[in-house]
A and B are shown apart, each in its own frame.
Chain A
Amino acid sequence: MAGLAAAFGSGAMTNSVAELEDSDCIFIIGSNTTSSHPLVAEKIFKAKKRGAAIIVADPRRTQIASIADIHVRQNLGTDVAFINAMMHAIIKNSWHDTGFISQRTEGFEAFKENINAFTVDKMADVTGICADDIVKIAQLYANGKASSIVYCMGITQHVSGVDNVKSLANLAMLTGNLGRESTGVNPLRGQNNVQGACDMGGLPNVYPGYQPVNSEDVRKKFETAWSFEISKDAVEPDSSEEKSSMGLSADVGLTIPEMLKGLGDGSVKALFVLGENPMVSDPDTNHVRKALQSAELLVVQDIFMTPTAEMAHVVLPGACFAEKDGTFTNTERRVLRVRKAIDPPGEARQDWQIIQDLSSLAGYPMNYESPDEIMNEIAKVTPSYGGISYERLEGDGLQWPCPSLEHPGTGFLHKERFTRGMGLFHVIDYIPPDETVDDEYSFWLTTGRTYVHYHTGTMTRNSPSLNAEMSEGFIEINPSDAEELNLAQGQWVKVASRRGEVIVKIIITDTIGKKVVFMPFHFIESQANLLTNPAFDPTAKIPEFKVCAVRIEKMVKAQH
């Protein structure tokens, strides 16, 4: 997100999912689309049927790779080298869109000079992709009338994640594949409401609508908007005192990795966790456990007793999606209604009511009647949601930006101008992964999802049909590596990294390349994140889940 925001001024998916159907070329990099975003894959299938060229770059031969016109396996963490080489070929062959570059972008000259060094032949060695394929992919992408880029966590979960994204932004600008239908740079959001959580200011540096916390104007705006709520509803005897002492903080807050660090060094004392499960989702679980153990107060609000909740001082039972009214914002910025079907079980309560009560008890009264009323306040303070109301969300929902009640919503961004004005080319150099293989840890480990389970498995592993489909973790290994280690299908192995070790069954498959192994991260009992590297991108603070070095040992005795 930080990468796209720097290049275009907005970090969101530029185009709509349905537009993919009409693309001439879809370049998919770091997305296991049929597993993680099946209904996006559906549109890609339709595009292929229409004759679009499908290009997949992925170290694994995923299902979408197997139906692609070209599939290449880049070495782990070499995406910048690959994309820069593509752009080298594009410029060399004059396949770039000079009109778009001169009218809509800035920073091209410096960018171009930097690209000179990334010759296709040199980068073929770095990336492990043959030079002909790099050129062919560059040509297909550049020469499509409308070419789309689709990417996911395979791009962002690297120490160079922001660089990777900026490189894709460069590629799209270079070829003029922006601001039109069926083009764009399209990050697929991994979770149902990642987009919404960002939009709503669930981030340490921005209020709702990406309004920076360190801007005085913005802060004043929110102080007015929110203290108005207080004066209107002032009922608590001490609320006037609270109000007078209230001034919103101008300091950018902590990101999750920084919170965990703060817990460790004692600067953070209390942590409130709403519906997250860092014990399974975050890298280097042993480090996370230590951090959470040092919290003086750990509050977890969730629907199941997650491994994180088990460590809490207080557990507050919330409502699941079927038990609440509200909205989710999907990957294409579409705000969609969630509707209550039944009551929460037992004493469990609506999450918004729990937060509201806590806030009132803590001295800042909240008195909302319904989620509908909360959305009306969101619309008031969030320009891109300005025209959104529950009434208008009937039907197909609305795609932000939707600044006014008359505005129909926005299918694709950056039409005549970029959100930031001119699109900005970035000079990006190739930085290798934080950790590399050596004699002791000789395999590259990459992690991801499966088609059955979702994230930390809290919901899917509690679903009988899904659990029957896949009930345990595994590690994928190439047949030649398995032979070398004398491993048989289904055998148990110990996988160790510099941070921890897990015991897991192997699946021998040629969908994974040599000296690379893959593990899904859904399974607490064979937990990939005990192994992963918490080194993170300096800007986006995204950990490098997709690359670390591991050792694989045959188990003498069977497990379980």
Chain B
Amino acid sequence: MDYRTVLTTCPYCGCGCGLYLEVLDNKVTGTIPCKTHPMNQGKLCVKGWNVHEFVHNPNRLTCPLVRKNGSFAEVSWDEALDYTASRLKAAKERHGSRSVAFMASAKVTNEENYLLQKFARAAIGTNNIDHCARL
């Protein structure tokens, strides 16, 4: 058996409450608010309390998909990444860097946003990057 609690930050609103995810045998089974966290001191809202529930939802995406003949086909990572990178490169070469655009995300981490804008700016050569701060 393996039971762990992992201290992390709630992914819903901008409050950034501290919480422990309960992990029993590699399944996230519960949420416990962190008592000593500066933002929430042991409290959460209804979204925070249930944050573990969507993690193992069977609707989660588990395999890369590429559209073939109108519908999605499961493919290997190599194929999905090659396909994506070559098509992005082709768009850049054929229509210029400004023909490629990126939506970054207010949902993913700082590190991931940093890498995406670096990818857009350094690899593709465009400043066409934005996210839904406005929404």
A residues near B (Cβ < 8 Å) are 1, 17-18, 36-40, 42, 156-157, 188-205, 207-208, 213, 222, 226, 246, 248-249, 251-256, 259, 262-263, 267-276, 278, 281-282, 296-297, 299, 302-305, 309, 312-318, 320-324, 326-332, 334-343, 345-349, 351-352, 354-359, 361-364, 366, 368, 371, 374-375, 377-378, 396-397, 451-454, 459-460, 462-466, 469, 536, 540-543, 545
| Further contacts, 18 of them, CB under 8 A, given A157-B135, A269-B95, A274-B104 | A39-B39, A157-B134, A190-B135, A205-B127, A249-B97, A271-B100, A305-B61, A309-B61, A314-B66, A328-B110, A334-B16, A337-B8, A338-B109, A351-B112, A359-B119, A362-B88, A363-B89, A378-B111
Given contacts A18-B38, A270-B99, contact A196 B53 (CB under 8 A): no
The residue among B17, B39, B56, B59 with the most chain A CB atoms within 10 A of its own CB is B39
* CB–CB B119/A355 < 8 A: yes
Contact: A315 with B105, CB < 8 Å?
Answer: no
A340 to B26, CA, bound (A): 11
- Picked from B52, B59, B110, B119, the residue with its CB within 8 Å of the CB of A193 is B110
Is A190's CB under 8 angstroms from B65's CB?
no
Bound Cα distance from A335 to B15, whole angstroms: 11
Q: How far is the CA of A371 from the CA of B42 in the complex (A)?
A: 28
Residues from chain A with a CB closer than 8 A to the CB of B98 are 251, 253-254, 267-268
* Residue in A closest to B5 when the chains form the complex, CB atoms: A341
Contact (Cβ within 8 A) A259 B128: yes
When C-beta atoms are compared, the residue in chain B nearest to A305 turns out to be B61
Complex interface: chain A residues within 8 A of B17 (CB): 39
Q: List 25 A-B contacts (CB under 8 A).
A: A17-B39, A39-B17, A193-B105, A198-B131, A200-B113, A208-B114, A254-B101, A254-B128, A254-B130, A256-B132, A270-B87, A282-B135, A299-B84, A304-B60, A326-B111, A327-B109, A327-B111, A331-B14, A341-B6, A342-B55, A347-B64, A378-B114, A460-B12, A462-B53, A540-B134
The smallest C-beta distance from A134 to any residue of chain B, in angstroms, reads: 29
A362 touches B85 (CB 8 A): yes
Known A204-B129, A314-B83, A396-B37; judge A226-B118 contact (CB<8 A): yes
Q: Which of A39, A321, A541 has the most CB of B within 10 A?
A: A39
Q: Assess A272 versus B100: contact at CB under 8 Å? Given A42-B43, A296-B91, A316-B64.
A: yes
Please give me the 3 A-B residue pairs with the lowest Cβ-Cβ distance, nearest first: A346-B62, A330-B16, A326-B109
- Determine whether the beta carbon of A320 is less than 8 Å from that of B15: no
Q: Would you give the shortest CB distance from B72 to chain A, in whole angstroms?
A: 7
Which single member of A199, A313, A321, A358 contacts B81 (CB below 8 Å)?
A: A358
Let me know if B107 and A313 touch, CB within 8 A: no
B127: A residues at CB distance < 8 A: 204-205, 213, 249, 251-253
Residues of A within 8 A of B6 (CB): 322, 339-341
The CA of A262 and the CA of B128, in the complex, are separated in Å by 11
State whether A249 and B8 are in contact (beta carbons under 8 Å apart), knowing that A270-B100, A331-B14, A463-B53 are contacts in the complex.
no
CB neighbours of A201 from chain B (8 A): 113-114, 117, 129
Given A316-B64, A337-B8, A463-B54, verify A253-B128 contact (CB < 8 Å): yes
For B95, the closest partner residue in chain A by CB is A269
- Give the B interface residue count (CB, 8 A): 99
Contact B46 A37 (CB under 8 A): no
Q: Is B101 a contact of A259 with CB atoms below 8 Å?
A: yes
The reply on B10 being an interface residue by CB < 8 A is yes
Q: Are B115 and A356 in contact, with the CB atoms below 8 A?
A: yes
**Complexed CA–CA distance, A326 and B110 (Å):** 7
Interface residues of B in 59-78 (CB under 8 A from A): 59-67, 72, 77
Of the residues A193, A297, A305, A454, contact of B47 by C-beta under 8 Å = A454
A374 near B62 with CB under 8 A, answer no
- Shortest beta-carbon distance from B81 to chain A in Å: 5
The closest CB in chain A to the CB of B105 belongs to A275
In the complex, whether B32 has a CB less than 8 A from a CB of chain A is: no
Is B1's beta carbon under 8 Å from chain A? no
Residues of B within 8 A of A226 (CB): 118, 121-122
Q: Are A256 and B122 in contact (CB under 8 A)?
A: no
Q: Which residues of A contact B103 (CB under 8 A)?
A: 256, 259, 271-274, 276, 278
Task: Report the nearest A residue to B114, measured CB to CB.
Answer: A200
B-chain residues with CB within 8 Å of residue A352 when the two chains form the complex: 109, 111-112, 115
| Cβ contact of A197, chosen from B10, B61, B105, cutoff 8 A | B105
B101, A36: Cβ atoms under 8 Å? Answer: no
Closest-by-CB residue of B relative to A317 is B61
Which residue in chain A gives the minimum CB-CB distance to B86?
A361
Bound-state Cα–Cα, A336 to B37, Å = 10
Q: Which of B37, B39, B44, B80 contacts A314 (CB 8 A)?
A: B80
A246's closest neighbor in chain B, by CB?
Answer: B122
Kindly provide the distance from the CB of B73 to the nearest chain A CB, expressed in whole angstroms.
Answer: 11
